[in-house]
Each structure stands twice: as C-alpha cells, then as structure tokens.
Amino acid sequence: MELKPAHLPKGFGQTRGSEHEVWLSDDKLRVIKATHAGEFGRKFGPDRFATLGEYLERIRLLNEEFAVGWQIEGICGEGRSQRIITSQPAYHGKPPTLTEIRQFMLERSFKLHKTRFGDAWFRKEDGLLISDAEPKNAALTTNGIMPFDFLITRPALELLKTALIQ
C-alpha cells in the first residue's frame, strides 16, 4: 500500500499515549492519531514495536473484526521522524470494565491465555490474537463495546508456540 502525504493537526495533541499523539477533530466527530516519530505502534510478543506493515495490518484486521472505522490518512516526515496519520470515529461513552471486555471477547469465541507477554485472547478458528484488551483501549457506547485500539494480529505459529498458546 502506498501512503499519501499527510499533515499533522495544528498544535500539540490533546493526549499522548504509548503509541499515538491524539487530537479531536474540530467537529468533534473524529479522533486523529499520529504514531510517535519513527515508530509504528506496539505488537504482541518479545519484540514489542511493530513495523509499518504490521501496523497497517493491525488497522485492517481491527476494521474487519470490529468495524471501528479506522482510516489511514497518510504519512508525514521522513526517516526517524516519520509518522503515520490515521483517524477514526470519536466513540463517546465510558471505558468498559475488564469483566465487560471479558464477556465481549468470550461472545466472539476468543479464549483468554495468560502468557509471558501478558494476557492475550486467541481464536483458533481463524488464528486471530488480540492483546492489550484493556478499558483504556475501548469505549462502552450505547451500541455496546467498541474496541478502538486493541492490538490484533494473525501471529506466526512460532510466536504462538513461544507464547504457549495451544
């Protein structure tokens, strides 16, 4: 996928997490996210930093699985200052509890695994693995839970063996 040039919103983001600087759009309908300079988010496993390809795949999988409406706006900067700019709907609600997230994941046939890399939800039928399924990465809306920033992947068999997910 070729990324088009994009610009950061003006000023500093309203929030800064471990993966993104975040702005609320002027109309308050979308959240604009920029990865930190030279980084492309996190991932599950021993190497916690994602490559550009892994980050783009995460966006695709999260949209496919949960229809979060995460869009790739483009790329800004070069080399070590490169950042991916994305946007997604501003989900209004409160963070769900861990119990609510657990129920949400079980309803979708994911099984919880305690691994050396942290808790992970795995669905054997299609090989999807979700980690970082925490209240800060989801919103409990009037339509239910929207997991807008869970880490999602189809990991290699070797990682599954390493993480002891069978």
Nearest CA-CA partner of 59 in 137, 126, 156, 150: 150
- For CA atoms 116, 117, 122, 127, give the dihedral sign: negative
pTM of the model: 0.93
Give me the chain's average pLDDT, please: 94
Domain boundaries, the chain: 15-89, 98-162
Convert the pLDDT of each residue in 8-61 to its tens digit: 998 888 899 999 999 999 999 999 999 999 999 999 999 889 999 999 999 999
- Kindly list the strands in the beta sheet with 128-131, ordered across the sheet, starting from the edge strand earlier in the chain: 111-115, 118-123, 128-131, 151-153
Give the confidence band of 124 by pLDDT, cuts at 50, 70, 90.
very high
- What's the mean pLDDT in 60-78? 97
CATH of domain 15-89: 3.30.200
Question: What pLDDT, on the 0 to 100 scale, is given for residue 166?
Answer: 52
